[in-house]
């Protein structure tokens, strides 16, 4: 039994978990350093027990996974740092916050943020939504003087639920394609599942945890708390217009959303195919966020009394902060990738087969366990989809419900091996414990709520 455990991917998982806790929690090493050591160590264990995983791979695969992570989020995070700095310093974020409050009332500020992040996340990746909404949460905290935990949770809830439940976001779209679920029906059921899940995780849990922890506003993304407080007290006449303030968000969503639309219309008309190469360029999140950053930086320059050189220095400081966040986030992804290389995902998924658990619950469990073990929500969802696809004929309900439970399971318990955990922590200016209490708990609540909603709705309206 001991020998079997030592040769299974479970050993790698346990070692990886113990190391990140020791290095990051007990020894309190810088996050990047601790995650790098943990990733290298997991690679060494893989070299001992995983076929075709050489000793040198412990180093090269860590570096490759880190590089792949930087390729995916490096430019967006750096541009997001400029957007965040510029929107906060120019007063754009304050203008948006005050407009929200005038529409829904100060007591419903969380609902405004919750709704905005949910809608934005449908055509845009989760990370891009968080980049754009985090400055608003920080400005709302500066304006109101409290409730920062609530504002971060509602922003995360809206973005996370759309990310795993509602096509055309990539995760549920890929799962629906894998198991052959109708996209239109999947979208309708996705909204049905996402709204109560986001409500329970964002508004209900957000308000509950907000009464129990007080998260201070810390320096983050190149902006100090003093600067935020000063802008929160400005007269509205000294702030940019609402249209100019929202321009970076509108630009980013419009450009990325244009690619989503073109992909959805692929093959419909020749015109779509003709414009597709151009839209693929401007709709790429690297380009879209760069254009949005230019718009935000220009507004910052117009509405500040800084000289050209001082303005450039401020943007450089924002880029330094963004570089640190990108490095930590990418190394968190590399740690997860090294865990995945141990085969822990398929090992746990295969272990669940044949237990006699209902198919919907089985799919949720597979996605949830893989997600916890290797960190990536998308990888967990695709793993579960591949395993469940041959079993769709046995489903007593519409296959769209299977997409939902897989998405719910893939969203559970974002922690140290998930790059999203570090993104939320660093951009939000949180401690590790605050991130666990807000973001990790939120993703778990969304996951469980999503499963319950699917089981209830599918029993009333099977659509089979």
Lowest mean pLDDT, pick from 39-53, 178-192, 285-299, 375-389: 375-389
**Average pLDDT in the 287-308 region?**
92
8 Å CB contact between 386 and 345: no
Which of 83 and 196 is assigned the larger pLDDT?
Answer: 196
Contacting residues for 254 by C-beta, under 8 A, at least 6 apart: none
| In the predicted structure, residue 231 carries a pLDDT above the cut 90 | no
Q: State the burial class of residue 11 (Cβ atoms within 10 Å of its Cβ: 0-12, 13-18, 19+).
A: middle
d(CA 201, CA 204): 6
Which of 80 and 148 is assigned the larger pLDDT?
Answer: 148
Q: State the burial class of residue 438 (Cβ atoms within 10 Å of its Cβ: 0-12, 13-18, 19+).
A: buried
pLDDT at residue 1 in the model: 47
Q: How big is the CA angle at 376 (ends 453 and 399), to the nearest 5 degrees? A: 40
d(CA 320, CA 126): 23
pLDDT at residue 456 in the model: 96
Which of 284 and 212 is assigned the larger pLDDT?
Answer: 212
Lowest mean pLDDT, pick from 130-144, 185-199, 206-220: 130-144
Query: Quick check: pTM over 0.95?
Result: no
Write the CA distances from 92 to 104, 254, 323, integer angstroms.
19, 19, 23
Domain regions of the chain by residue span: 6-460
Please name which of 406, 409, 331 lies closest in space to residue 371, comparing C-alpha atoms: 409
**Average pLDDT in the 159-183 region?**
81
Q: SS3 of 412, please?
A: coil
8 Å CB contact between 278 and 284: no
Residue where the block lists tokens 């510029």 = 86
pLDDT at residue 434 in the model: 96
pLDDT at residue 441 in the model: 97
8 Å CB contact between 69 and 77: no
Average pLDDT, the chain: 86
Highest-pLDDT range among 10-14, 81-85, 300-304: 300-304
Complete DSSP assignment for 14-70: HHHHHHHIIIIIIS---HHHHHHHHHHHHHHHHHHHSTT--TTHHHHHHHHHHHHHH
Each residue's pLDDT tens digit, 115-146: 878 777 765 667 777 887 888 888 888 888 88
Write the CA distances from 81 to 73, 76, 92, 118, 239, integer angstroms.
12, 8, 15, 22, 20
């Amino acid at each position: 039994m001991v020998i079997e455990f030592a040769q299974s991917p479970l050993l790698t998982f346990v070692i990886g978990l113990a190391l990140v806790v020791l290095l990051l929690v007990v020894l309190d090493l810088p996050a990047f350093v601790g995650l790098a050591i943990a990733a290298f160590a997991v690679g060494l264990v893989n070299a001992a027990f995983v076929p075709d995983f050489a000793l040198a791979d412990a180093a090269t695969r860590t570096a490759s996974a880190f590089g792949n992570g930087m390729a995916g989020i490096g430019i967006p995070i750096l541009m997001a740092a400029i957007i965040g700095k510029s929107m906060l310093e120019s007063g754009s974020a304050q203008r948006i916050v005050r407009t929200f409050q005038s529409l829904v009332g100060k007591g419903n500020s969380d609902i405004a943020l919750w709704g905005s992040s949910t809608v934005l996340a449908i055509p845009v990746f989760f990370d891009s939504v968080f980049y754009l909404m985090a400055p608003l949460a920080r400005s709302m905290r500066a304006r109101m003087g409290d409730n920062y935990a609530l504002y971060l949770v509602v922003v995360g809830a809206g973005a996370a639920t759309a990310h795993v439940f509602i096509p055309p976001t990539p995760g549920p779209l890929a799962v629906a394609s894998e198991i052959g679920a109708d996209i239109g029906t999947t979208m309708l059921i996705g909204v049905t599942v996402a709204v109560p899940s986001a409500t329970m995780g964002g508004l209900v849990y957000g308000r509950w945890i907000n009464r129990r922890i007080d998260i201070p506003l810390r320096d983050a993304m190149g902006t100090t708390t003093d600067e935020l407080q000063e802008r929160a007290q400005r007269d509205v006449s000294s702030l940019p217009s609402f249209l100019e303030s929202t321009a970076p968000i509108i630009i980013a969503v419009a450009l990325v959303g244009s690619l989503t639309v073109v992909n959805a219309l692929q093959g419909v008309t020749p015109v779509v195919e003709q414009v597709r190469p151009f839209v693929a360029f401007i709709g790429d999140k690297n380009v879209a966020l760069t254009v949005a950053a230019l718009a935000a930086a220009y507004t910052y320059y117009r509405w500040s009394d800084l000289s050209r050189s001082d303005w450039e220095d401020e943007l450089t400081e924002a880029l330094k902060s963004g570089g640190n966040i990108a490095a930590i986030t990418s190394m968190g992804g590399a740690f997860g990738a090294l865990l995945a290389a141990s085969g822990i995902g398929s090992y746990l998924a295969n272990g669940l087969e044949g237990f006699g658990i209902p198919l919907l619950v089985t799919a949720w469990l597979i996605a949830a366990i893989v997600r916890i073990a290797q960190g990536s929500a998308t990888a967990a969802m695709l793993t579960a989809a591949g395993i469940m696809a041959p079993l769709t004929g046995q489903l007593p309900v519409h296959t769209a419900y299977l997409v939902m439970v897989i998405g719910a399971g893939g969203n559970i318990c974002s922690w140290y091996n998930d790059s999203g955990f570090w993104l939320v922590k660093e951009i939000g200016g949180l401690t590790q414990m605050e991130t666990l209490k807000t973001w990790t708990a939120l993703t778990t609540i969304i996951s469980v709520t999503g499963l319950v909603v699917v089981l209830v709705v599918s029993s009333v309206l099977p659509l089979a």
